[in-house]
Structure 1
Amino acid sequence: MKRRLLMTMMAMVLAFSFTGCGNKKADETTATTEAASEVKDEFIKFVGTDIPKMDTEEAEIMKKFNSYFAEGTAVDTDALLKDLTDNLLPNYKTFLDDIQAIEVKTDEVKALKDQYYDAMNAQYEAMQKVEAAVKDKNKDIQTEAQKLLSDAQSKYTAYNDAVYALAQKENVTLNGEIATTATSEAGSTTEANTEAIDPSEAMTDEVETTEAAQ
């Protein structure tokens, strides 16, 4: 009788243990599903809402910057320098701060945000080099600016590739700059933002002329 009671109690303990394992497994599955949903939702908001707003800010700044290098016209370096110092660079710094202010929680979207920021920051540093090159009439600094612009574009391409990869992983279709949930694989990546025109060729004659006059 005692043995039978002991076996019954053991069976009850085992049954309780199995039930506990089952609940734990179900809880883990639910948590995983919720985490996956959080990544997808945050990714859609980031690519579909946050970044388009950032790109609009950046496009306005770069449109003005690029206007100084219109084909067939001489660069007004005095006007460019003043605009860089008074408007373009301060506005770009505000744009970078706005990127940093985007709130993201998931590691996947944080990584995208960091890549986007790095690309935009490289372009900002290139514009700072342009300012220094104009101010000092230094062709070596122009070359540094050119390299930074190339780095910025490479980093932006890497960011776009990362967006596409995460869209595929999360089963999100990208339509222009708007991401929407869908059952098919990701379509196309976002269009590249307005990149800076390489000022090196446009400014070369202006710098050389100034140097020769000295």
Structure 2
Amino acid sequence: MKYKVLVVFLLLMSTLVGCGSNPVQDDLITYINDSLPALAEQELEAIELYESVSGPNYIDDETMYYTIFDEVIPKYGDFIDDLEKIEVKTDELNEIHELYIEAANLQNSAFLTIITALEEQDSEKINEANGKLTDARKMIRDYQKKLSTLAEENDVEIE
């Protein structure tokens, strides 16, 4: 008889513990541990390819064009597709995740604008693309700051 009481008590306690969970915390943990790591690799690979032909690594327009057209844009497009497939369960995290998607799309738009600028040899389009890249970097920093704040508010540590 005591055994049945103990089992019922343990079942009741496990149910009560479950009731006290934080859905934002759970969503953040899944997002940070399961969703982001694979995407970070994809994004880094595309950005490193872009950086290999831009700024101090610039060689010539043709090298830049074919690297961005053949490698950066397809890889970054795959990254965006995978980013958009992530499903979050809470409104708080969804708002932040949408900011990341918007920043990624803006950065991709910059890559496409660079292609057009190189095809047309249009320096104004290069300036436009650089502005988009700057805005996208600001948005990504904003995303990171908001994600960190949400994590802090929900007792989730980001390493």
In which range does the TM-score fall when normalised by the shorter chain? 0.7 to 0.9
User: Is residue 61 of structure 1 aligned with residue 71 of structure 2?
Assistant: no
Bigger proportion of residues as helix: 2
Amino acid at match of 1:48: N
The aligned runs of 1:76-95 (5 Å cut-off) are 76-95=60-79
Q: Does the CA-based 8 Å contact 2:73-2:108 persist in structure 1? A: yes
Q: How many residues align?
A: 144
Which of 15, 24, 41 does residue 26 from structure 2 map onto? 41
Q: CA deviation at 1:74?
A: 4.8
Q: Does the CA-based 8 Å contact 2:117-2:125 persist in structure 1? A: yes
Query: Which consecutive aligned stretches of 4+ in structure 1 deviate over 3 angstroms post-superposition?
Result: 29-34
Partner of 2:129: 145
1:46-90 Cα offsets, whole Å, 9 max, x none, are: 12331121111011111111111262x652211221222222212
Partner of 1:196: none
Give SS of 1:119's match.
Answer: helix
Query: In angstroms, what is the RMSD of aligned CA positions?
Result: 2.1
1:119-177 Cα offsets, whole Å, 9 max, x none, are: 111111111111111111100001101110110011011101111211121011221xx
What is the TM-score when the length of structure 1 is the normalising length? 0.62
1:102-134 Cα offsets, whole Å, 9 max, x none, are: 121111121121011111111111111111111
Q: Does the CA-based 8 Å contact 2:103-2:139 persist in structure 1? A: yes
Q: CA deviation at 1:31?
A: 9.4
Amino acid at match of 2:138: S
Partner of 2:37: 52
| Matches of 1:68 and 1:74, distance apart in 2 | 5
Q: Which runs of 5+ in 2 are unaligned?
A: 1-15
Between structure 1 and structure 2, the one with the greater Rg is 1
What is the TM-score when the length of structure 2 is the normalising length? 0.82
Give SS of 1:68's match.
Answer: coil
Amino acid at match of 2:114: V
Change (3 A) 1:32 1:109: farther
| Matches of 1:87 and 1:74, distance apart in 2 | 16
Change (3 A) 1:30 1:108: farther
Partner of 1:164: 148
State percent identity of aligned pairs: 25
The farther-off stretch of 45-54 and 128-137 is 45-54
